[in-house]
Structure 1
Amino acid sequence: MNRPVAQTHLSQLADLLCWMDEAPERRSLAPEARTPEGLWWEVMAGEDEKAWVWLEAGRVQGYGALVPFWDGVALEGPIIRAGDGKALLEHLVKKARQEGYPTLYAFPEARNRYARDLLEQVGFSAEHTTYFFAIGRTDLSYPVPPGYKIELAEPCDPQVYRDLYSRADDGWSLRLHWTDEELRQHFLGAEVELFMAYAEQGQAPVGMAELELDDTQAEIAYIGVVPEARGKGLGRALLGAAAEWAFSNPQIQSLQVRAHDHEKAAQALYKRLGFKQTSAVVTYALELY
């Protein structure tokens, strides 16, 4: 049966999430915490999140939640160890409709056929797949093409960033919805760095790479070059600059990058440089109205 997450569920929920972590074919978007205390803050303390568990014989055997995302809401899960996963998913879809969200997104691991089948049974459609790659500490430096320069952007000018982002990206519009203050706060912390490429004859940037640092791992969350500057090795140079910065920190042991399914050249480059694919996540969407 479906029940809103309560404090008495948190220990068993932590156990369920650890079970999910054990195999790629079980993984979906989920809370980061794996302790009852961490889950309380992540799942129950926030006003924007709505989470439910599936109880089977009095035990937590399933989990799903609605979290704000883009122009709609994203689905954590469904994570099902036992019980009626479809009933839990239909309950989450019903709640999303009641809240008036226009679109519901879900992000299962590509190998999670159980969750993917459930999503498709209730009307979700697969939009694209994002591939994640990682590499250990290595030299990825690359010369900046003649006529260009790469600099650390400090501070971030929201309007300059937004203009470059809209010109460099042809499909991912997430950051265009952020306010000036949200952009400033995102790049204010020491865990996020922004590299921008400029044509030396002009002041307007033509490419950028966003680097995020987290304990022992760094991730290039986004890399893009405007169409008129492509084909010159500028994206490769941005990758090298971000990697050099990341690995200058002795605590960083690996670098993660990502590429969507249509970005064949980027996937080939990462493999050629020695990156190994670690996961693939399928983006699903369901129009609620």
Structure 2
Amino acid sequence: MRTFRLALALCLFSLNLLLASCASTGGPVSLQEVREFADASAKLGGYAELSRRYRDTYEREQPYLPASADKLARENDAKRRAVYEDFVSVQKAVVLYMQTLSLLAGDTRYDLTERIDDLGNGLKANAESGLQQRHIAAYTGLTRLLTRVIASGYQNRSVETMVRDGDADVQVLLEAMISLTRLYYKTNENEKKTILGIFDVELPLTKGSNERMLVTLAKVHYLNKASEYKLIDRRYDLALQGLTKVALGHQKLRENLHKLTQEDVKRMLGNYGRDLRMIRDGLAAE
């Protein structure tokens, strides 16, 4: 009986040591802040919507264009549509990376294999859009990493190795997304000047016009368009804030890979996740 008690005590002692060891090496619970940051980064939003808005610029401005400007506008429309899929693919790669990172930091597993097919066949360099060879190389490197990790069922992978292997490519792609969002903003500014500029020129000429109803409708339309552009400008600001926050958060994650269970690091990552959720809520409310 004494021998049995001694063996039981040793077994319980060993179990306590094992549990303590798991907790100290960063189990799923201790990496909660990493998971929340990755989730918030993947769900940020804004970029995809602004990409579509960039693609559809001609549809909005065409009714206001003079015939002499339509040919050039159509050419620009074709160029935007030609690069749209590449612009969206950049985001898809970053989102899938963040989703994978979240899974590695958590205690659940989902099959992301089908998401690999969404990434497409690669990017093309485009001088006008700003996509360069280093962006293409980063996209290729990140998609290879994701394919390898997801296809293997996440075996022999940890948050540390995932971040270490992926950080450089993630940073380059986030830089590309920030640059493209600025391109979207610049294009939107040109569209705004084109459309609102017509009213700025024409409305003063309607003073004394007998077409009172027509003039009133024009003024209402102008105010509606001006409000629309004001809201869109706010979305560009929020999207840029969010993408910058994701890049900074991942950089801090990379710099503190060996200290992820320390309270100050967990607090810092928690703050990044909180900020991203606030930005996402702001985008949803606009």
Name the structure with the higher helix share: 2
Larger radius of gyration: 2
TM-score when scaled to structure 1? 0.23
Name the structure with the higher strand share: 1
TM-score when scaled to structure 2? 0.23
Larger RCO (CA under 8 A, 6+ residues apart): 2
